[in-house]
Every structure is written in structure tokens, then in C-alpha cells.
Amino acid sequence: MISYLVRRFIQSLVVLVIVSILVFVAMRLLPGDPIRMIITASNTESFTEEQITQVRHEHGLDRPMFIQYFDWVGGFLHGDMGKSILQKVPVSDEVVRRIPITFHLGILAFIIGLLIGIPVGIIGAVRRATWLDTLVTTLSNLGITVPIFWLGILLMYLFGLYLNWLPVMGYTSPFTDFWLSTKQLIMPVFCLAVFPIASTARQTRSSMLEVMHQDYIRTAWAKGVKEQAVIMRHALKNGLIPIVTLAGMGVPMIVGGTVLIETVFNIPGMGRLAVTSVLNQDYPYVQGIILIVSAAVLVVNLMVELVYGWLDPRIRYD
């Protein structure tokens, strides 16, 4: 078990190193010259070759690529992600300010996805081929196809502009004003949760249908176990493994969704930052965001594998 964990951890680290190299090299291939952007951003009207060389030296961009890489990674490990080219502020400050916002949105969407998706899927499977099942199947098929940025605009029109029930955009920390924060979060979190809810419901339904045919379920019925216990204790626990896999795979989907939803609802999180820094070619930001996001996804993958062992003791880690 321990040796398996160590091995998996090392594998994830290797993937992370590959990601960092890919990102680093990719950013150096950007068409614009960052130096010229730094100088233009500081409003120097004309600049000599000497100045360029000097700025290049100041930013350490005249050193060999691989030294720059190790410098960057070393800095990263100390919490120093470099400075924004345009805003001249340390990337880490901005990122640290924005991570909680995106995390707040994402974790709510993730939890809601499971809390609604699993029961809905169970209802579909247990009441198979009734109108309830048809409703569940149709809604979940729509849920995995709806463009969430469009859904956001639709909701914004209906509840924000037309009915005037909810604030149209923005983000407030729950510690400043909990009620306002909740009202502002309803629409974005719902949009982010639509895909997790729908895909979890689909997966729960089909894995429950599969499990319900097993002999041990018939045995449970035969020995007079109550319906609720058959479903929750005997069927669901065995059907959960593919659902956990899917939930793990849903994390990148939610993170990708925040990019769109934070733009629609004007929320100052990581996703919005990713879009603006890509548009501005502010590469220290892009590098930092990508690395953080992939580290987060890898951690989630590791956690998913641990949950497998708890759900199905037959899975041996060796």
C-alpha cells in the first residue's frame, strides 16, 4: 500500500514535470517578444538596443533556456511565480487572491453535482421505464450538451434582468456579506454544476441498472431486506466505483467551466485571469495558472484511486 502510494506519487510528479517543461517551452515560443512588451508597457516612447539588452538582463532572459527553467521552477517551489509583465505585480499575490474564489465556485459545483446527480440517477434506475426514468434520462442528456456560457446568459436574462430576483454578476466573499454572496453564486454555481449533475446521474443510472441484475441483489431481496437497504447498502456501494471515476474526471471539466462562467458573470477568479492573461500574452500568469491547475487535477486523480480501495477492498495496491 505505502509503496504503491509512493510510486503513484512519483508518477504524478513526473507528469507535473513534463507539464512544466511543455508550458515553459510553449511560452517561449510566443510570437510577441516579452521584452518589447515590458518596455512598451512602461510607456517608454523610444528605446535603444542597449536598453533592451539591459531589461533582458534584468529579467534574466539572456541566460540559457534550461537555467531559466530551473530558476523558474525553483522560484515556483518557494512561492515566487515571477512578475506580471503588464501589471508589474507578483503573480503569486494575484493568484493567491483569486484561488479561493474559483475554489469556492468549483467545490460547490462538485458537491452539488454529486448530491443531486447520484439520487437522481438512482431514481432513474429504480423506476426504470416509467415517466420518471424518461424525465431523468432526457434531462441528463440535455445537461451534458447545453453550452454553459449560453445557459448562464439565459439564466442571467430570466432571473437577473426579467424577474429581477438575483444579482446579474459579480462576486462577494461569504465572510463579507453571506446573503449577497449566496445570491450572487446561485446562477454561476448552477451553470457549473449542470454538467456534473447530468453526467453523474447518467453514470449512476447505468451502473445501478447493471448492479441490480446481480445475484447478490436477488439474494438480498429474497431474504427480505427492505427496498431502501437493498438499494443503498447492497447496490449503490457496488455501483459507486465508476461514479467515483467520473467524478474525478469531472474536476477538469469544472475547472474548464470556470473559465467560461467567470467570464459570463464577471467573477474575478482564476478562470477570468486565465482568459485575460492569454489575451494580453502575459506569460508569467499563464504559466503559473496552468501549473497550479494541473497539480490540482493530479492530486484529485490520486485521491480518486485511494477512494477505490475503500469502496472495493478487492482492489489491492501492489
Partner 1 sequence: MANQAISDVVNGLVELPPRVSEWRRFRRVFFSRSVVVFGMIILLLFIGVAIIAPLIAPYGPYEPDLEHTLQNPSAAHWLGTDALGRDTLSRIIYGTRTSLEIGLIVVSVACLVGITLGTLAGYYGGWVYIIIMRFVDALMSFPMILLALVVAALLGGGMRNVIIALSVALMPNYARLMCGQVLSVKQNDYILAGRAMGASNLRLMRHVVLNCLSPLIVLITMMLGVTILAEAGLSFLGIGITPPTAAWGSMVNDARQYLLVLPILSFAPGLALMLVVFAFNMVGDGLRDALDPRLRGLL
Q: Under the rule (CB under 8 A), what is the footprint of partner 1?
A: 14-15, 18-19, 22-23, 26-27, 29-31, 138, 141-142, 144-147, 149-150, 153-154, 156-157, 161, 203, 206-207, 210, 242, 252-253, 255-256, 259-260, 263, 274-275, 278-279, 281, 286, 289-290, 293-294, 297-298, 301
Smallest distance, partner 1 to C-beta of residue 57, A: 25
Q: Which is nearer to partner 1, 47 or 305 (CB)?
A: 305
Residue 225 or 299: which CB sits closer to partner 1? 299
Phi and psi (nearest 5°) for 315? -70, 120
Quickly count: other Cβ atoms within 10 Å of residue 237's Cβ: 12
Q: Give 184 or 301: the residue with its C-beta nearer to partner 1.
A: 301
Instruction: Report in angstroms the alpha-carbon separations of 182 from 110, 151, 189, 214, 272.
Output: 16, 19, 10, 43, 20
Closest contact distance (angstroms) between CB of 296 and partner 1 is 9
Nearer to partner 1, 35 or 250 (CB): 250
Closer CB to partner 1, residue 44 or residue 141? Answer: 141
Question: What share of residues in the chain are helix, strand, coil (percent, to 5)?
Answer: 75, 0, 25
Measured from the Cβ of residue 150, the count of other Cβ atoms closer than 10 Å reads 12
Q: Give me the least distance between CB of 2 and partner 1, in Å please.
A: 23
DSSP state of 59: T
Rounded Cα distance, 58 and 36, in Å: 13
Write down the least CB distance from residue 276 to partner 1, Å. 10
CB of 8 to partner 1, least distance (A): 12
Residue 205 Cβ vs partner 1, minimum distance, rounded to whole Å? 11
H-helix segments, 29-88: 34-41, 49-58, 65-77
**Closer by beta carbon to partner 1, 163 or else 222:** 163
Beta strand segments in the chain, E: none
